[in-house]
Amino acid sequence: MSNTLGNHSLIPQAICPPATRNSLTKTRKGHTHPASITDISAHRKWKSLAAKEFLGDSLNTAGTKLGWRMPRGIHVVPCAVLAADPAFELAGKFNLDGNSQMQVDVRRRTPSSPSQVDIQVTNDSDSLILHWGLIRGRNKNWILPSRHPDGTKLYKNRALRTPFMKSGSNSFLRIVIDDPEIHAIEFLIIDEAQNTWLKNNGENFRVQLSEDVVSSSDVSVPEDLVQIQAFLRWERKGKQTYTPEQQKEEYEAARMELLEEIARGTSLEELQTKLTEYTDESNNNAKEVLIPGCKIPDDLVQIQAYIRWEKAGKPNYPPDKQLMEFEEARKELQLELDKGTSLDEIRKKIIKGDIDTKVSRQLQSKRYFTPDRIQRKRRDIMQLLNKVPFEKSEMPEDKVLDILETPSALELFSKAKKEQDDGHILNKKLFRIDDKELLVLVMNPFGKRRILVATDVDEPLTLHWGFSKNAGEWMAPPSDVLPSGSVLLDMACQTTFIFDPLYKVQAVEIEIDQEDFVGFPFVLLSGERWIKNKGSDFYVDFNDRVKKVDGDGRGTAKPLLDKIAEMENEAQKSFMHRFNIAANLIEQARDAGELGLAGILVWMRFMATRQLTWNKNYNVKPREISKAQDRLTILLQNMYKTCPQYREILRMIVSTIGRGGEGDVGQRIRDEILVIQRNNDCKGGMIEEWHQKLHNNTSPDDVVICQALLDYINSDFDISVYWKTLESNGITKERLLSYDRGIHSEPNFRRDQKKGLLRDLGNYMRTLKAVHSGADLESAIATCMGYKSEGQGFMVGVQINPIKGLPPGFPELLQFVLDHVEDKDVEPLLEGLLEARVELRPLLSSSHERLKDLIFLDISLDSTVRTAIERGYEKLNNATLQKILYFITLVLENLALSTDDNEDLIYCLKGWSHALEMSKSKDDQWALYAKSCLDRARLALSSKAEHYHNILQPSAEYLGSLLGVDPWAVDIFTEEIIRAGSAASLSVLLNRLDPVLRKVAHLGSWQVISPVEVAGHVVVVDELLSVQNKSYEQPTILVARRVSGEEEIPDGTVAVLTPDMPDVLSHVSVRARNCKVCFATCFDPNILADLQGKEGKLFRLKPTSADIIYSEINESELQDVSSANLKDDGSLSPIHLVKKQFSGRYAISAEEFTSEMVGAKTRNIAYLKGKVPSWVGIPTSVALPFGVFEKVLSDNSNQAVADKLEALKKKLGEEDFGALSEIRETVLELVAPPQLVQELKETMQNSGMPWPGDEGTHRWEQAWMSIKKVWASKWNERAYFSTRKVKLDHEYLCMAVLVQEIISADYAFVIHTTNPSSGDSSEIYAEVVKGLGETLVGAYPGRALSFVCKKSDLDSPKVLGYPSKPIGLFIRQSIIFRSDSNGEDLEGYAGAGLYDSVPMDREVKVVLDYSTDPLINDTSIRKSILSGIARAGSAIEELYGSPQDIEGVVKDGKIIVVQTRPQM
């Protein structure tokens, strides 16, 4: 918001160059405005009308802002530097993306030489391409010259693409232009490695070549014409708000446009006539509409209106009031004119301030902001982008103990058992045995008590155990509960532990029905050695509440948390002690990284939620508390400046602490209560007890008590209102009595005290909030704007100075927020809050001297957004879809402003904004597109929640156990953090919108991936991954909360139902269809909750194309349903493999591919070469054939590796499955025989493929490591257990390696030429992702773009769903080594996808922005690409005569197939 007055169609003076701004003289028909306003500014302190504050950024015309603004991004940096070649001129320097600079030099055409453009980019990338064309005359279409640099390619007959030449960190390109009629070159730059376009403020770069087009040495344009042209440009561009620098650029651009007109033959007289006619028409229209017959020049009216506005206190007038003020100013001058005063005399009187002005200063309480809403500035959303500079989880090893990314074997084992036994835990104990662990779980599945004792101790163990009815006693267990093989003794029992080969742990399970036992004593026996718990028996109480933390502190900054626990007794004395201790620990927390700060947050939040003692027998002055708060918050402020990667968690910490402040503010808490008592004759009772409490130890409870008193007085002394306010904020009678100086009495005031108490307690509330409630909106705004409170008698005064450097109009914006904070219509308030947060953002990223206060203000604005959204839920019940979409964009923007690494959220926001525009334009695809945006937003929220849980919950559990925090408070710690943030508000809105979008987009509640009718018992699991190696004894319907896409389906499973969204062509989806398992995604949370509530019951599932009908059945009906994938060890016939032998060749070309040498994958790609249509590309391929691995292993140089491998295989044969990872590591130790290296080099070079070794020895080493990783993947867990299931002899499985060049693709796709969901052979189904195909077939969250296409109409693809995957993978031009085993594509066994394909170079993860993707936004491009994919699939199916599973990529619109196999 800015200080504005109306204007009457005048040209903005802010666009004038300095030489012309000093005069308002204009030449128009009938109007001569002599004189200058520089004299006015010399006599007055206020700025002239030419200043940006009045006429530039904030001028309103009939209620429309005449703002000047250009989008930020790439900007030209004018620089007067000589080029190295004196014949060259510097055309410009550009900042491309913050890390790259570009310099363009031009040598203009002479009679003896052509024009020449040199472009140099400083950038690490070695894959820059110039996308360019030339401009001739007034033709806007690009001209493509015949002369161009080597390597230039034609792009769609529309542009040329030329690669840059790399030299060190610079990329260089020279373009020679010999056509004399060409006067400009336009271009963009493409970074192929990053798949990004580098533009000039979203537009093409343009370099003028022909000097006579842009300037003329003998022609000058009058400045008044330039001003008018600049005004016209400003109007054409939507009356944007420009910075002073942008205004200058616009002014010069206007001059250039006029010079171009002159160069084309237009005379100055013609220009002048054309432009002045426009301005005359504008002015005449203005006079007709606003001021018929007026004799007062507009410039004088403007000045007088400005004076009136100043005298009124610079209020924020709505448009109608601005026009009224303008007319009032005109009337005042007209009165002077009517008195006989000349215009010159009036001008002099204005300068002296002698014109009579009837205006009074506006009251602060009167609103002159538009009551409807503010006008938000138009900005590039990308300005809100935050990217974390490095991995936040990295921290020094000496600071953090045992930070593990993956759970231990014991944790995985216990998790699987919890899933199996309903997960209901009565107690959990973890003991240490030297460097090993012993876990005891007491569970209550289906009403029975089950005890699990598990350990990762290596030596065989025996459990010596019993039960107890009283602590300390031993009783022998009943004989009917003894596990198999147990030996019953006199007062105990002994049971041998059973080893679990999958998890490498040993365990005992005991089940008991009796309820009278209260505990479980035991010891362990290892040979002749008894193992006890620190000299005593182990003991687990059946009735204990489960404690989440065992004292280990895994996943936390344990040394810091131990220190906090050690200091807690001291911290409980007072807030002063706690805050000082926290300040002393801040450096240690910072050194421990994000987990260290998480520890501080957990501790402070336990304090803020009253889980820790606030005061214990210690008297401390309020100013001492305030000083300690101030010290802590200043340390946090300084870390906020220096550690931007931790700002999000630092904001959370700050929000749990009051602002504090040196001396005066804190002391006023003590002094002011005495003044209140004295002024209002309140010297006894409750107010005196509160006074004693305040003197002893003030706390955040005092803010609530003060509010309760105010509510009580305002309710006409209704005591129930007093208690309601207290109790709703967690303060009970018991808590009031628990203070060291307890509050025993209720308030009891006289009616004559009402007015004074409301006044004084209202003032006192500000003092309390200044110390205790830094994030309170009113307090935070008052602190930033400044305030002053005078002292009375002994009471000190307080003066808070306004924060310097706030954006123009910011105080008025905050006042708008305060004025509307309780409005029922929350939309204008939300817009004001977000505008304030965006305006505040640059200051939060600076080293502002009052940064702490700005942080508190931003936190308060964020909090107010959340409460406003929640207040607006009811109104949204009857809102339009567009309104809900708009609300989601507001909440997403707020969440992005509060998030450190917000790139994904920013692209979600761009997607929602695009969906909103699609809905407004009635695009028939808008709901389908919006659904993909919704899915992506949910993924972002899920990722954020998971991050919070991983970072905060372990610290909450460990510290909570050390400090004795209530278990319920520990259990919900992270959940409550999430609930308190914007993410929770967004989640509610998404849940409201989802069923509506599905209905509009004609989507059902299910996506059926594998339609198989089945029946089975319902089992609910958290992750499919945790049970993938389990075998169910009865047909089982798994309801899994998470499915990534790479899991195996457990034996005995007949259906997998999930809310997760794996791709239809992901590994687990293919597995489900192959194994005849029903597999579906459920979008309706109510249906899912209903199914989860049916756990243990028997159900039938009947899928349709878009739904699943489920019903409960009895056991007798089970046999009537065909249930696939039941475990039956005798029903499966072993699949026989013929072991392949080494052929004598280490490497072969495509012409030599045979079934004895390579697998089907490699043979198929060679078969396609020359047989598919010419527009389908097939990559060049070579291979390392079967037997090469075995040959390399037998080489003398690898004897030690071979011996180690044999020993590990023996362990594996004994079902020690931990040997699998050791085998993979051992394979990587192989060295390459020289003959292999030489043969592979010759084969690749002869086939036209680049040899990695040409780039250096290290590149060959990278390639060799990739080959070994492919071989090693024979022993990955998923593949190994998959072969065991079908009884395939793993020793006979051989691995060839297909070698191909990686195509740095725009998109990757997978085609099934028969629709896998419906089985419709007339329909092709395909999925497309941006970048590499690994995100499609691997465990990457989100959905791909999916479509179907009838084979009878390949030109009409139908999109089923738009993409929601947040991540794309991209890679430089490289080599990929693909697995190709003899165990793939066997009848009865689908081995495809089990083994690894390894690129030589690491992929780069890129957060995807679909709003700029032509595949999404350009209908013609989408149709072209999808039709091309469908045509390729149809051609390949026709070639093979059977349904095919095809993988490929799209590069510059060209379809390239990289492999095909029979569709399973």
* Active site amino acids: 1067
φ, ψ for residue 835 (rounded to 5)? -60, -40
Return all residues near 1183 (Cβ < 8 A) that are at least 6 apart: 1147, 1148, 1153, 1157, 1158, 1162, 1296, 1297, 1298, 1299, 1380
Return all residues near 1461 (Cβ < 8 A) that are at least 6 apart: 1160, 1161, 1164, 1384, 1385, 1392, 1444, 1445
Hunting for tokens 């030099």 — which residue is that?
105
Contact 731, 609 (CB under 8 A): no
Distance separating alpha carbons of residues 124 and 193, to the nearest angstrom: 11
Hunting for tokens 């806007």 — which residue is that?
140
Contact 1337, 1066 (CB under 8 A): yes
Nearest residue to 179 via CA among 144, 154, 152, 140: 144
Torsion of CA 1239, 1223, 1392, 1137, to 10 degrees: 80
Contact 712, 705 (CB under 8 A): no
Distance separating alpha carbons of residues 662 and 259, to the nearest angstrom: 63
Q: Which helix (H) or strand (E) holds 314?
A: none
Return all residues near 876 (Cβ < 8 A) that are at least 6 apart: 883, 884, 887, 989, 992
Return all residues near 1239 (Cβ < 8 A) that are at least 6 apart: 1145, 1146, 1147
Question: In angstroms, what CA-CA distances link 279 with 29, 30, 274?
Answer: 10, 12, 9
Question: In angstroms, what CA-CA distances link 753 with 136, 678, 680, 688, 935?
Answer: 85, 12, 6, 15, 58
Conformation bin of residue 599: beta by default, left when phi > 0, alpha when psi is -120 to 50: alpha
CA atoms within 13 Å, Cβ hemisphere of 769: 21
E-state strands within 277-422: none
Contact 800, 784 (CB under 8 A): no
φ, ψ for residue 1214 (rounded to 5)? -90, 15
Residue 471's CB is within 10 A of a number of other CB atoms, namely 10
Q: Count H helices and E strands in the chain, helices first.
A: 45, 50
Q: Which helix (H) or strand (E) holds 731?
A: none
Question: In angstroms, what CA-CA distances link 1189 with 328, 1141, 1146, 1155, 1203?
Answer: 94, 10, 9, 17, 15
Could you give the maximum distance between any two Cα atoms of the chain, in Å? Answer: 125
Distance separating alpha carbons of residues 1185 and 1145, to the nearest angstrom: 8
Contact 162, 223 (CB under 8 A): no
Distance separating alpha carbons of residues 721 and 531, to the nearest angstrom: 62
Distance separating alpha carbons of residues 380 and 201, to the nearest angstrom: 10
Residue 420's CB is within 10 A of a number of other CB atoms, namely 17
| Secondary structure (3-state) at 177 | strand
Q: The tokens of 129 are what?
A: 């391409």
